[in-house]
Structures are given as C-alpha cells and as structure tokens.
Amino acid sequence: MERLSLEYGKKSKLEFAVYPAPQISTAVVEPYNSILTTHTTLEHSHCAFMVDNEAVYDICRRNLDIERPSYANLNRLIAQIVSSITASLRFEGALNVDLNEFQTNLVPYPRIHFPLATYAPIISGK
C-alpha cells in the first residue's frame, strides 16, 4: 500500500480486507498481520471495507446450509459482496459514480474510512 501511495499519490484507493477469526484461524500470526495492516490502511487507503471471516463462515453454515464451508464457499460469498459494492463503478447508468464520488459519499472524515457493507438476501441454491 505504501508503494502504491507513492506511485499513485492522488488516485483514490479502495480496499477490501478480510479479518481473521480465532475459531477458524489457520496461522498463529493472523491477528498480528491484521493489526499491522490496519495501521497501513489508516495511512494509505481512502475507503476500506472490512470482512469478518467468522461472520462469513457463519453465514455459509446458517443461511446456505453448508455444514463445513470451504475457502471456495467463503470466497464466492465475499466475491458477490465485492461485485455488488463495485457495480456502480463498473457499469454505466444514471446513478453510477466514479471512485472519487464513491469515496466522497461513503467517507465522512478521512480517518473514518471504514464503511459497513450489508448484503441480502442470502439464500441457498438448493
């Protein structure tokens, strides 16, 4: 992120970060990595969406009836959310905005650039 900020200083940077959960953790250093990257996010990102890994795991189990969700299941759900959030950036239309307007509408103050994303309905394909 630091290098991107140096090379593209005036460009807006949108970030999607997946934060670890203790019950699903695969590495001991995951909490440390998330803390260190949050500091970088505060300094170098203009808008950051955070995703809780445990919440996504629970949604897959409860709403999608997947007994043991795999990384593919989790990634598909996160991909749908990211796709929905960025749809106005990718497609033409009257209500669509560019990245600067996107950031202006979602971020009230520069240091408070962590908007909350919700997605519904989440239903099983069965």
With beta carbons less than 8 A apart as the criterion, state whether 108 and 117 touch: no
Nearest to 113 by CA among 15, 46, 17: 46
Query: Which tokens sit at 55?
Result: 């919440």
101 is catalytic: yes
Alpha helix stretches (DSSP H) within the chain: 2-7, 30-44, 53-62, 71-85, 87-90, 99-106
Residues serving a catalytic function are: 101
